[in-house]
Amino acid sequence: MDSSLLSSTNSVSNVDQIVNLSITEENQHGAKSTLPKKADGNNPADGNGPADVSSSKEDQDKKMLVDMYSIMVDSVLEGIKQYSKTLSVHKTRAKVVDLICEGCRAYPVLSKYIQRRSDIVFTLEAYDQDGRSLPVEEGSRSLLLKSASVCLYDVPSTLIPGKTLGSLVFSEVFQDSVISVQKEDGTLELDGESLILTSIIPRYRSWPLVSKVESSGFLHNLTQYGCLLCPGETFRVCTDQSLTLPVMEVELFAYEAAIVLVFQRANILLLDKDNIKSMQMYVGESSDAVSVLMVEVLPSSGIPAFLQSENHILYISMFPKSKAKLTLFQEVLPEWKSHCSLPHVDPTESIPESFQQMYVLKV
């Protein structure tokens, strides 16, 4: 995702205190964007530290870019499905652009942008054994690897009229197989499946370019949340959005009154009674099943944009017979139940279908 450097910062109320720090968010599929980060680095909900800093309006630009990027991810995946069923480049392009325009309507500032459509560019290309790009012919089968890419150029700011935030790019490489199927009335129709070859590559990564949060120092200052119950075991976290796939490994630190998730490259998320609405535990039908702690967060609780979803649930999963699961069930859950500092963890026999479909493939 190519983007210009934004000179503004987020979550800072006093502009005079700003220094020019930035956070790079990169998708190894070929997407890269440079976004602003506040100077003090001390907001736990943003993964930067314990200070109580009110969010500024400049968070809107960052959230909009992440939302647009998430829409692009879903649109490209739907476009690949469309192509695998129709072999039509034109129908695939129309579907991808329509989905992006529909998703962007949540931001009024983008109304003229999506009406113009000239800055929304979708390409479908094939590649031979030497890596040379070849055009994909309308309606023709091809055994070559293909890439589906969408670019959003010159994305406008939500704050400053005429200001351009930069450009976004997302792509996936896939292999498709399409056959003709005879229907009951004797007519033929196309049917096919696709395999996303780049699905194992994280679609979202973020890290500070200038300042780095030291998790040890941050965790040392959390004495107000009681005793440390789980000292940094490895869990996996995602939402039901395609943006968070494949699921991300995190270190989980559980306190009597808080959960701290430490992501790679020192992004930290603190969850406590002020931003957790409810919690449920899914243990599966056997001891060999993967267990999932479902944490429902409040919509306006400062959760990073890439972890926000329509159902506001974070899925924290652990493998069977792992040390993480053993620690959670033996040390953490009993203490949470006795202290009542966090919402009660209710057992559940099911998990949302959207998560099940993703989970079977990716965990």
**How deeply is 318 buried, as exposed, middle or buried, from its count of CB atoms within 10 A (0-12, 13-18, 19+)?**
buried
Buried b (16+ CB within 10 A) or exposed e, 197-222: eebebbbbbbebeebebebeebbeeb
Evaluate the omega torsion of the peptide bond into residue 50 and state whether it is cis, within 30 degrees of 0.
no
Summarised one tens digit per residue, pLDDT across range 133-144 is 999 999 888 899
Question: What percent of the chain is predicted at pLDDT more than 70?
Answer: 78
Q: What is the pLDDT along the chain (363 residues), one digit of tens a residue?
A: 433 322 222 322 222 222 222 223 334 454 444 333 333 444 444 444 433 333 444 578 888 999 999 999 999 999 999 999 999 999 999 999 999 999 999 888 898 889 888 899 999 999 999 989 999 999 888 899 999 999 999 999 988 888 899 999 999 999 999 888 878 887 878 888 999 999 989 998 776 554 555 666 677 788 899 999 999 899 999 998 999 988 889 999 999 999 999 987 657 899 999 999 999 999 877 777 789 999 999 987 678 888 988 889 999 999 888 999 999 999 999 999 988 889 999 999 888 877 776 655 344
Average pLDDT in the chain: 79
H or E element in which residue 55 lies: none
Cα separation, 18 vs 21, in Å, equals: 8
Summarised one tens digit per residue, pLDDT across range 189-215 is 888 899 999 998 999 877 655 455 566
Amino acid at 347: P
Sign of CA dihedral 321, 326, 328, 334: positive
Q: What's phi and psi for 191, nearest 5 deg?
A: -145, 140
Beta strands 120-127; 133-135: pairing state = antiparallel
* DSSP letter assigned to residue 174: E
pLDDT at 343: 92
pLDDT at 321: 85
Closest CA to 66 of 267, 204, 271: 204
pLDDT at 213: 54
Q: What's phi and psi for 68, nearest 5 deg?
A: -65, -40
Closest CA to 314 of 324, 299, 328, 326: 299
